[in-house]
Amino acid sequence: MNYKIGDLVRFVDEPIEGHITAFLGNDIVGVTDDTGFEIPVPLNKITLVHGNMRTEEDDEPVQSNIPIKFLDKGIYLALTGEQKEGLVKFFIVNETSFELLVNVTESQGSKRNSIYANIVPAREYNQIYTGNFAAINKWPSLEFQILRTSRKQHNAVPPIEKTIKVKPLELINSKEQLEILPEKAWVYELDKIEENIGLDKLKAHFISHRPK
């Protein structure tokens, strides 16, 4: 076998391993073990373990200069479960790079009750509520107040204030697979920008479309 400097070898007759660090002639090589001591040994008394000598520098991860993209969209209310099993679980899913400060309040008529107040880290999800499919018409409206924060550089974003009232017909739609939630779910986008065309734009729209 053709050995080369740096090959990791094992002694045939002794429990010793080391790297070949010298060729001494007459089919003798120098093998340096973990203690740093070089041992002369005949070539027919060693066997190859693997071919390349690795150093600590070889094991260091290669650092990429490509910046990691900051994800500023992807905050969802997700409902999982099967109607035949009875229960549905409500999750807030954060697929963004933001850390979320979340408060969720259930409302029934004029009554309000905070059901969840916590931090949702970036790229994680938390369960916030459990409902029963049999009582779907009695599920409360959920009022979300969400602050988005990050120590990484990002564009300024306003707080999110949104109310979700799940309707039975909406659960006829197919479930979706989000990126970080293991189960498929009925999904409501919480950070979707609602277009407010305003009164002036509304007037302009009707004027421009008025029959002539």
pLDDT per position as a tens digit, 128-145: 999 999 899 889 999 999
pLDDT for residue 57 is more than 70: no
pLDDT per position as a tens digit, 76-129: 999 999 888 889 999 999 999 999 999 999 998 888 999 999 999 999 999 999
CA pair distance 139, 107, nearest whole angstrom: 9
**Could you write out the DSSP letters of every residue in 151-166?**
SS-----PPEEEEE--
Top pLDDT among 35 and 111 is at 111
The domain limits of the chain are 8-56, 75-192
CB 76 within 8 A of CB 189: yes
Nearest to 179 by CA among 99, 89, 118, 94: 94
Q: Would you state the CATH architecture of domain 75-192? A: Sandwich (2.60)
Q: Is 18 exposed, middle or buried (0-12, 13-18, 19+ CB in 10 A)?
A: buried
Mean pLDDT of the chain: 84
